[in-house]
Chain A
């Protein structure tokens, strides 16, 4: 079980300085600059050791063999779980609508008689807030599709 605790670099200036030294060494190694200190040289050795183990132990024809094994890619229309998801979504929506209608039929009379002013959309801040949220959500989705 992991009991890792994150370091708060804002509260630990010594750790923040050491982090900066680690990053400076990495940057210097990428840029081909000579190390400026013994500490930087140590971190560059560590970087070099990590980068040295870069061999990929897969066969040269791994991609081709896998593609042949995998066959055609399922689309969202043909994927088995997509059909189930659509059915379940339709079922849940239908249940929501039916239960909403049921509650309205049973309790609707008492709501109206209790406070006719509650049916006024313009005067009800909660209805306005709901409409604003729906509008923002739909607008964001439309923008996302337009911008791809």
Chain B
């Protein structure tokens, strides 16, 4: 007898109904389930642990206040992610921090592609730890939005449409951010290894 896989949408529905019915422990369960996603979004956007903790609390208090308005039109994680993203965005706007760099022109993309070599074996070069440290530093210096998009895609494994729902940006914009940011990080690796352009 084959087991039917759990339907995430029906799990969402059951959890939301339990929370709205004020079932004991239901809201705590919702927070536990999504606090990781919330932290990743907010911490990547604001890059300050104290602020991130406060903003995570604000996010879940907003979720608590407005859960009755959730219409199940998107996955619950996308809806909560959207609340977290908006809370972080407002925080950065109050501090007048831009979330993206000035644009790389299309010519800049092409020149990056041309300048990055393909023949160097990065696995063999340089100590793993040192390279890992360089990459972490490079990721830390990324603007908030590309850094958050990378995290949602690689770490939280959200799809591009899901990330589009969280951020309110078009799927093509999300894809462009992923492409450019990963290409720039690859250039960082090559630069660290002293590969001539």
List residues of A whose CB falls within 8 A of some B CB. 1-7, 9, 12, 14-15, 18-19, 22, 26, 35, 37-39, 41-43, 45-54, 56-58, 62-64, 66-67, 69-70, 72-76, 79, 82, 148
Contacts and interface: CB of A to CB of B under 8 A. Distances in A.
Interface string B144-169: 01000011001100000000000000
B67 A73 contact: yes
A5 B103 CA distance: 7
B28 A67 contact: yes
Contacts of A66: 27-28, 31, 57, 60-61
B176 A67 contact: no
Given A43-B186, A64-B28, A66-B57, A3 B102 contact: yes
B130 to A, nearest CB: 12
A63 B27 CA distance: 8
* A interface secondary structure, majority: helix
A57 B53 contact: yes
A114 B69 CA distance: 48
A72 B135 contact: no
B186 A42 contact: yes
A5 B132 contact: no
Interface of B: 13, 19-20, 22, 25, 27-29, 31-32, 35-36, 39-40, 43, 49, 52-53, 56-57, 60-61, 64-65, 67-69, 98-100, 102-103, 105-106, 109-110, 113, 118-123, 131-132, 135-136, 139, 145, 150-151, 154-155, 170, 172-173, 175-180, 182-183, 185-186, 189-190
A45 B177 contact: no
Given A49-B136, A66-B31, A70-B64, A42 B189 contact: yes
A4 B177 contact: yes
Contacts of B64: 70, 73
Nearest to B157: A30
B144 to A, nearest CB: 11
B109 A15 contact: yes
Contacts of A82: 68
A76 B17 CA distance: 12
A148 B65 CA distance: 23
